[in-house]
A = this chain, B = another copy of it.
Amino acid sequence: MSPATTPEPPYYAVIFTSRRRAAPGDGYEATAERMIELARARPGFLGVESARDEIGITVSYWDDLDAIAAWKADGEHLLAQAEGRDRWYARYAVRIARVEKEYGFTREE
């Protein structure tokens, strides 16, 4: 995984931050990978970035709020959300944000 390449702002970000349970139950990794695969295939998807150590942070980027709402309501995603609350997460936060500015750096060597 690399930092995502996204178009000129404005576009939207979904910042999903989570802390896992100590004994989270199995199936987490496979479902997490599957959700990223499904998200990538959706209309309006622009990119995704994910990292986990003590907490996990997944940021997905989208054209607009409609694309985000449709992904949230996807059937397989709804099942994964329910399983996350039942088994995997001690806590999570979802923040929906409008990206207004972007800049970056790429090493030349």
How far apart are the CA atoms of A52 and B49 in the complex, in Å? 11
Q: Does A32 contact B (CB under 8 A)?
A: no
Smallest beta-carbon distance A23→chain B, Å: 11
How far apart are the CA atoms of A25 and B100 in the complex, in Å? 33
B19 engages A59 (CB within 8 Å): no
Interface size classification for chain A: 35 or more
Q: In chain A, residues 29-62, which have Cβ atoms closer than 8 Å to a Cβ of chain B? A: 49-57, 59
Tell me which of B56, B57, B92 contacts A104 (CB under 8 A): B92
Task: Specify how many copies of this chain sit in the oligomer.
Answer: 2
Report whether over half of chain A's contact residues are helix, strand or loop; otherwise say mixed: strand
How far apart are the CA atoms of A90 and B104 in the complex, in Å? 11
Nearest CB in chain B to that of A49: its residue: B17
B59 engages A55 (CB within 8 Å): no
Given contacts A15-B15, A89-B107, A102-B96, contact A51 B49 (CB under 8 A): no
Q: Does A94 contact B (CB under 8 A)?
A: yes
Q: Does A27 contact B (CB under 8 A)?
A: no
What are 30 inter-chain pairs, A to B, with CB distance below 8 A? A2-B19, A3-B17, A3-B19, A3-B55, A4-B17, A13-B95, A13-B97, A15-B15, A17-B49, A17-B59, A21-B107, A49-B55, A51-B51, A51-B55, A53-B53, A57-B57, A57-B59, A59-B59, A85-B105, A89-B107, A90-B106, A92-B105, A93-B104, A94-B102, A94-B103, A94-B104, A95-B99, A95-B101, A96-B100, A98-B100
